[in-house]
Structure 1
Amino acid sequence: MMRLESLLSVKGTVAALRFYDDGSLAEAVGEIDPGYAGLAAELCYANGRILQQQGDMLTAFSGMGGWTPPRGWAMSGPELSVCAMGEVACFVRNAEVSFNELFHTLYKVAHD
């Protein structure tokens, strides 16, 4: 199993976390305040659940499959982005990260 710390080897990654299926924090690494890590886990869990619901709705409205289960999601701000797959998420500096490398590593961590 690839460890969460392997995400920190991707240039631009600030922090990474793993959360349980109820949104509670399992572990966090990198530059994230412990007081905020739990909130970040809840945020990432909630966004994943919303994405699942949207996929279900797209399937129902379009009559086309392939929308679920979602593979992951990303949200970008001016300087930082949060990217998630499954129950793993990371925070990255946009100007430094290769999103291709990041998502490749994120997939391995989330699915190994």
Structure 2
Amino acid sequence: MSVYAELAEMPGVIAAGEYSYRGDRYNFKGQLEEEMARMASIMCRATTMAVHMQADILAANSGNSQLTPAQGWVVRGPGFTVCVVANVFCFVSNEAGSLNTILAHMRKRLADVEELI
């Protein structure tokens, strides 16, 4: 089973998916319309690129190599949280989901993924 399919079955997960770094392919499972999943994959790819750039800048200016390569990011809104590790995204309900459990699962399953950017 794919990582995103495993995530989609976890309590509190609204939807999960994976995207290509070229931006032309994606897969998802959960409570998203096809167009929303497409836009989510584009947003996640763009944000991942920005996070990598910012981590590189911080590392270069601070001399702290522990910042790179960035392995993912999290954004919390009033209703749900978006988590990304490697090229897998997960939308989690803030009320029903356990962010720690979901992130631990993502990190464990995606630990051996090479830097993709």
TM-score, normalized by the shorter chain, greater than 0.5:
yes
Deviation at 1:24, TM superposition (A): 2.9
Deviation at 1:9, TM superposition (A): 2.4
> Map of 1:1-112 to 2, 5 A cutoff?
2-111=2-111
Q: Deviations over 1:42-95 (max 9, x none)?
A: 100011110000111001111111111112111111011110001000111011
The normalised TM-score by structure 1 is 0.91
Deviation at 1:19, TM superposition (A): 0.2
Specify every segment of 5 or more residues in structure 2 that has no aligned partner in the other structure, as ranges.
113-117
Larger CA deviation: 78-87 vs 100-109: 100-109
CA distance in 1, matches of 2:48, 2:86: 8
Runs of 4+ displaced beyond 6 Å: none
Identity, % of aligned positions: 30
Number of equivalences: 112
Look up the equivalent residue of 1:33 and give its one-letter code: E
Look up the equivalent residue of 1:94 and give its one-letter code: N
Could you say what secondary structure the match of 1:56 adopts? helix
Specify every segment of 5 or more residues in structure 1 that has no aligned partner in the other structure, as ranges.
none
RMSD: 1.6
Look up the equivalent residue of 2:8 and give its one-letter code: L
